[in-house]
Amino acid sequence: MKLWAAFFKLVRYPNLIYITLTQFLLQYCVVEPVLHSSGEEPSLSVVQFVLLSLSTVLIAAAGYIINDYFDINIDIVNKPDKMVLDKIISRRWAMAWHTIFNMAGVSLGFIVAWKTGQIYLGFTQVICSLLLWFYSTSFKRQVLIGNVVISLLTALSVSVVGFYEKQIYESFEAIMSPSGRKLIQIIGVYALFAFIISMVREVVKDLEDMIGDSKDGCRTIPIIWGVLPAKRLCNILLLALQVTIIAVEIRVWLLGWYIAIAYLLLLVQAPCVYAYVLLKKAHLPEHYHRVSSVVKWVMLTGILSMIFFKCYL
């Protein structure tokens, strides 16, 4: 039991559940209702969607494993009590699971791409796998690059489901159709949301992990630019997120989605303001960890807002 608990902790199972939930909501609360409103059917069958989602989860799990593998020296300083690698699970087994998950994830991605007749889409998973490897080995120790890469991958985990819809990949005419434009707009907004909120969380995590990162020679934003500039970057990103949400609220106000507006105000925007206030006062690792927890809450409530498309479309 202890070994299984350590394994699930190693692969960050709450994050994997979040990825699965995000893709499920996008497929069945956004893509399917939008297409049905135009008398069309989704390109992915239930089985194909499950395989695509499983592919994404496996590659993400492999990424978390390899990240911990190369972060052992940092984790010894930042979170020695939470380590499982080298304490419960050996490095050799970690690399074995990383390889198995990557191969399985990429294979499933190509199977789904082949079934939809767009084999080139399978390379999306290959690119994700490679980016996660280079992030763990190099990018995360460089200023800004690592943060941007992870944020892009987070946005990609949201939008990848849309890549497999013929309204997006088939032709320019399909893209410009009512359902095509609507899908691109909605998926684009959620991908932007995922990118911005992920950037905030990544910078906050860098602030939280400064001590261990500096000892390992990492060149993260707070180490190179300083704590205050790192906080200012987070504030700018939070402001950009608020502007994006307000633009969405104006749009849904015109549609009469008043409950959705109340939801966004109370459960997405208000926590963003709270994160801003906490960040302004933060100066210890535990303070930044609290900010990170609030940001994760915003990520969850933002994604859950997809349910309103199922209700209103």
Burial class, 154, CB count within 10 angstroms (exposed 0-12 / middle 13-18 / buried 19+): buried
State the Cα–Cα distance between residues 251 and 249, nearest whole angstrom.
Answer: 5
Stretch 276-302: mean pLDDT: 94
Residue 186 and residue 30 in contact, taking contact as beta carbons nearer than 8 Å: yes
Q: What tokens appear for 51 in the block?
A: 């395989």
The DSSP bridge partners found for residue 85 are 89
Q: Using H for helix, E for strand and C for coil, what is the string for 112-171? A: HHHHCCCHHHHHHHHHHHHHHHHHHHCHHHCCCHHHHHHHHHHHHHHHHHHHCCHHHHCC
pTM of the model: 0.92
Percent of the chain with pLDDT over 90: 64
State the Cα–Cα distance between residues 182 and 175, nearest whole angstrom.
Answer: 9
Write the DSSP assignment of 264-297 as a string of letters. HIIIIIHHHHHHHHHHHH--SHHHHHHHHHHHHH
pLDDT tens sequence across 137-160: 888 888 899 999 999 999 999 989
Question: Any idea which of 39-48, 160-169, 198-207 has the lowest mean pLDDT?
Answer: 160-169
* pLDDT band, residue 198 (cuts 50/70/90): very high
* pLDDT band, residue 14 (cuts 50/70/90): very high
Q: Give the CA count within 13 Å in the CB-facing half-sphere of 287.
A: 13
Q: Please report the domains of the chain, with CATH numbers, ordered by start residue.
A: 2-312 (1.10.600)
User: How far are the Cα atoms of 18, 23, 173, 227, 299 from residue 150, in angstroms, in the given order?
Assistant: 15, 17, 32, 21, 14
Residue 180 pLDDT > 80: no
Residue 77 pLDDT > 80: no
pLDDT (0 to 100) of residue 15: 94
State the Cα–Cα distance between residues 124 and 109, nearest whole angstrom.
Answer: 8
Stretch 122-133: mean pLDDT: 94
For residue 129, the one-letter residue type is S
Mean pLDDT of the chain: 90
Stretch 6-34: mean pLDDT: 92
What is the CB neighbour count within 10 angstroms for residue 99?
13
In the three-class reduction of DSSP (H, G, I as helix; E, B as strand; rest coil), residue 42 is classed as coil
Angle between helices 270-281 and 285-304 (to 10 degrees): 170
Residue 163 pLDDT > 70: yes
State the Cα–Cα distance between residues 237 and 248, nearest whole angstrom.
Answer: 17
Q: Which of 59, 4, 50 is nearest to 24 (CA)?
A: 50
pLDDT (0 to 100) of residue 232: 95
Residue 292 pLDDT > 70: yes
Element (H, E) at 250: helix 227-255
State the Cα–Cα distance between residues 136 and 129, nearest whole angstrom.
Answer: 11
* pLDDT band, residue 219 (cuts 50/70/90): confident
* pLDDT band, residue 188 (cuts 50/70/90): very high
